[in-house]
Amino acid sequence: MHQRKEFISIIIPAYNESSRIFPSLARLDEYLGMNFGGFELIVVNDGSSDSTEDVVSRAKKEMPSIRYLGYKKNRGKGYAIRQGVVNSTGDIILISDADLSTPIEELEKLLVPYDYGYPVVIGSRGLEGSNIVVRQTWWRESMGKAFNRIVRIFLLREFKDTQCGFKLFHGGIGRKLFRETIIDRFAYDVEVLYLATKAGYKVKEVPVTWLNSPASTVRPVKDSLRMARDLVRIRFQKNKLGTR
């Protein structure tokens, strides 16, 4: 990829990521330094109980591109990403998981439709051409498929995979959308895509490479119930999510 002139913000939500976030930040710093005129790595520590804050502070001494945001209470992935996005300054915003389950090189695939006028481009594990190198456990994969079927029935029929943690936004549009979000946990993806489609923004789903990480903070029963409740909130909270 030729070096791009835009300034890009990478939003990395982190909850108990002390064992793996340093190499991820180093890889991001290296890749973006070669391919973008300017960038920032915004790590949002979502109330971690381990040494994530100390590890990021150490990384920051070596990588001045890092910006750290943190708070004591765990609020959820959606809340963390919202804080990162609304505090970003980039022309482009990329949301990425801390484990780089989608390698940063896959950004190049998302930039193709972005350059053709799509202000929201999402990575997908559900399209033909998606490359699942390491699969999830059977129960997580089954849970994800069931959730996606519900989403497609009630909210977003056009997307095969709303939950891949690799999403690209035009900077101004991304900040505008996330300022309107209310979902703090895993269904944040559905909400922001629902907002984008209701506002008339073009959204493109792109197949990407994905490697499951064995570490997981998902609680099958509790989080499934919470995600179902959040879908109801998205569907029926008309005052917040109505057409603008």
Q: 48 CB contacts (<8 Å, ≥6 apart)?
A: 14, 15, 16, 17, 18, 70, 74
Q: What one-character-per-residue DSSP string does 116-157 give?
A: TT-SEEEEESSSTT-EEEEPPPHHHHHHHHHHHHHHHHHT-T
Q: Could you tell me which of 142, 130, 147, 156 has the C-alpha nearest to residue 186? A: 147
Tell me the C-alpha distance between 74 and 79, whole Å. 9
pLDDT of residue 136: 58
pTM strictly above 0.75: yes
pLDDT of residue 186: 79
- Average pLDDT over all residues of the chain: 87
pLDDT of residue 241: 45
Confidence of residue 229 (pLDDT cuts 50, 70, 90): confident
Confidence of residue 30 (pLDDT cuts 50, 70, 90): very high
Tell me the C-alpha distance between 52 and 57, whole Å. 9
Q: Give 91-104 pLDDT, tens digit per residue.
A: 999 999 999 999 99
Q: What share of the chain is helix, strand, coil (3-state, %, to 5)?
A: 45, 20, 35
- Domain ranges within the chain, ordered by starting residue: 4-241
Residue 163's φ and ψ, nearest 5 degrees, are -105, 0
Residues 10-38, mean pLDDT to the nearest whole number: 97
pLDDT of residue 142: 61
Q: Give 122-162 pLDDT, tens digit per residue.
A: 999 988 888 887 655 544 666 666 667 776 666 777 898 88
Tell me the C-alpha distance between 42 and 21, whole Å. 12
Side-chain-facing half-sphere of 201: CA atoms under 13 Å? 23
Q: Where are the beta strands (DSSP E) in 72-125?
A: 92-95, 120-124
pLDDT of residue 153: 62
DSSP at 186: T
Residue 236 has pLDDT above 90, yes or no: no
Q: Give 205-226 pLDDT, tens digit per residue.
A: 999 998 877 665 555 445 566 7
Q: Compare 243 and 140 and report the one with higher pLDDT.
A: 140
Q: With contact defined as beta carbons under 8 Å apart, do 139 and 220 qualify? A: yes
Architecture of the domain defined by 4-241: Alpha-Beta Complex (3.90)
Question: Computed from CA positions of residues 86, 89, 95, 101, in that sequence, does the dihedral angle turn out positive or negative?
Answer: negative
Residues 163-190, mean pLDDT to the nearest whole number: 94
47 — alpha (psi -120 to 50), left (phi > 0) or beta?
Answer: left
The number of beta carbons lying within 10 Å of the beta carbon of residue 198 is 12
